[in-house]
Structure 1
């Protein structure tokens, strides 16, 4: 485990060959005109090498995600859902027939499971197969990926996961002009409309939400938040020729303490996931993930606030890389619903009588 302060998102020391290679190409693609496109080109190869959660090597996976996020959160936001989708496919009780929707060795994946008020995707059986139709909100990179795992309703109260081709004529992606966010500007998360798109079921009704790995992927996202927070906090470290005052040192110490807590929580979560293996399901896994996500989100918010107060407006208006990191992390952290997710954790604890 790490003993020294880090600003590179490391959860393991030293980095192994895979993590080192991925971190290097993350830095290289960040400098390109189209970093997302360059990252997408790397995903198929990375997916064949990256460890899966619950495989005994979960910390190495989280280390990879956090280090990439420390380099660039846009790259991490492109990598994480692809690896999550591959993990979900590996966990399926029966291997889905992906050949039926044209999945090849260069496929790139997203996971579109969000629901929106007044809209839904429905799945219909057509002969020996299935089709899906409807509107799915928050479909990041829907225009650029080849395939996605999409939740769809098979009945009034039942949902099922399906693999779908995004290059099909029945897929229409909303204009990215609606994505006005300053954070994650290169990854517009807009809605997609599906009309009779062929789909392959992955698991039975309800499996996606109850499978052992559902909450594992949620911790993987927190690893990205942690990596992004370490990069923002880098600005708190003393610079040559500029002696920090006591207030600056206080902010550095407080941020380091918070990041240490987040790092320790992620290391603990990886160990728990591997110890429980593929049989991990139920409330204990949910509690673990909610606790870790809530803690890392709080740490990320704290680092953003401390860095802003400690350094003033200068870096935000004159250092493009730092300003982009701040905007990206602020938006990414909003995937955790703060007080609402804390209330959900409290409800779970109340139901279990846990402490």
Structure 2
């Protein structure tokens, strides 16, 4: 372990909730710690968490993000398994609310037919296309969907598919249905090794529509879910920062006081994380107050995701420069966390997302 101590009791990541509220997620964090590397156990944990976790926009968005950040701080892969399940449950609820307003039938997330573990598959890739066609018996999926994490181990998925009339729509699908095939992913990644992403093939597979054409991307929940992913990234950065602070304390206990560079870097990390948690606290409060309930929510999501992703990379750089190669070579938990987190934040598209944000800033009045 390179002499770096590890905490036996996982600690929550606080954004704005009271200490008493954060204490309630202690069993979840202990469960995540016990389930590291055990994907079936992590998925069972996700189902249990969904029963107690609030949905975004329901008044406790900060607490939802604290759950995501705290689990990811225990183990990045655990957060990566939890987040899509909670997101899918939220999407189903949002689709149900939308259907109720427009008099349509949508799946009930509490219905037994939709129990189990869920993924969210909305990525696209060159040469692969999933199409949805309406037939006399309902909607049918035909084609292939890339980047489907843990698909073979899940029960259901919310996914997007192309429509014959143009555009895309969201659907709920049973991954055990006849006609669903899983390509063996050539997953050589050193990060998130237990969360492989591969291609799923659909051959005339029935699906349930959610919302309508374009609804998946137009709903404010799309932006809220994107910020939930950023909360996971934040949790990973907090874990890296904690390991760094622990290593400095451990060295000081052994008579080696940190030098000015180490202290300066720890100070930068401290103010960076303090600023991020304050930003997320304010953003969550705005979501709950209904201020981010229109399409403008995506602009805020781009700010949140870009700010957190940049901070994660900065924290990783500072810590790795200070600790050197030893923990990467000899500390399994540290090395796993750094590799997992480096892959996870690549869901952010860096300058391409900033370009999208810049286009929005150019077209609208700015808050600054």
Using structure 1 for the length normalisation, give the TM-score: 0.92
**3-state SS of paired residue (1:153):** strand
Q: Secondary structure at the match of 1:131?
A: strand
What does residue 5 of structure 2 align with? none
Equivalent residues of 1:19, 1:63 under 8 A apart = no
The answer to whether the aligner puts 1:66 opposite 2:66 as a matched pair is no
* C-alpha distance in structure 2 between counterparts of 1:327 and 1:139, whole Å: 20
Q: What is the alpha-carbon distance in structure 1 between the residues aligned to residue 154 and residue 11 of structure 2?
A: 31
* Over 3 Å off, 4+ runs: none
Measured after TM superposition, the shift of residue 312 of structure 1 is 0.6
- The yes-or-no answer on 1:209 pairing with 2:217 is yes
Aligned 1:277-292 pairs, distance under 5 A = 280-283=293-296, 285-292=297-304
Aligned to 1:180: 188
1:353 aligns with 2:365: yes
Matched, 1:103 2:113: yes
- The match for 1:3 is none
Contact 1:8–1:231, Cα closer than 8 Å, also in 2: no
- Structure 1: gaps (5+ residues): 1-5
For 2:321 and 2:91, the matched residues in 1 are separated by 41
Q: Does the 8 Å CA contact 1:8/1:230 hold for their aligned counterparts?
A: no
CA-CA distance at 1:104 after TM superposition: 4.4
For residues 328 and 348 of structure 2, the distance between their equivalents in structure 1, rounded to whole angstroms, comes to: 24
Q: Provide the secondary structure at the position in 2 that maps to 1:213.
A: helix
1:163 aligned residue: 172
Q: From 244, 248, 252, give the equivalent of 2:262.
A: 248
TM-score, normalized by length of structure 2?
A: 0.89
Q: Determine the C-alpha separation between the residues in 2 that align with 1:57 and 1:14.
A: 15
Tell me, in whole angstroms, the C-alpha distance in 1 between the residues paired with 2:24 and 2:12: 16
Match of 1:112 among 110, 121, 125: 121
Aligned length: 342
2:203 is paired with a residue of what secondary structure? strand
Q: Does residue 1:9 correspond to 2:13, yes or no?
A: yes
Counterpart secondary structure, 1:157: coil
Alpha-carbon distance in 2 for matches of 1:214, 1:117: 23
Assess if the C-alpha contact under 8 Å between 2:68 and 2:83 holds in 1.
yes
- The whole-number CA distance in structure 2 between the counterparts of 1:19 and 1:304 is 26
Output aligned runs, 1:1-355, within 5 Å. 8-11=12-15, 12-14=17-19, 16=21, 17-30=23-36, 34-92=37-95, 93-94=98-99, 95-97=105-107, 103-105=113-115, 107-176=116-185, 178-237=186-245, 238=248, 239=250, 240-241=253-254, 242-276=256-290, 280-283=293-296, 285-354=297-366, 355=368
Distance 1:108 1:66, change over 3 A: same
- Counterparts of 1:281 and 1:128 in 2: how far apart (Å)? 34
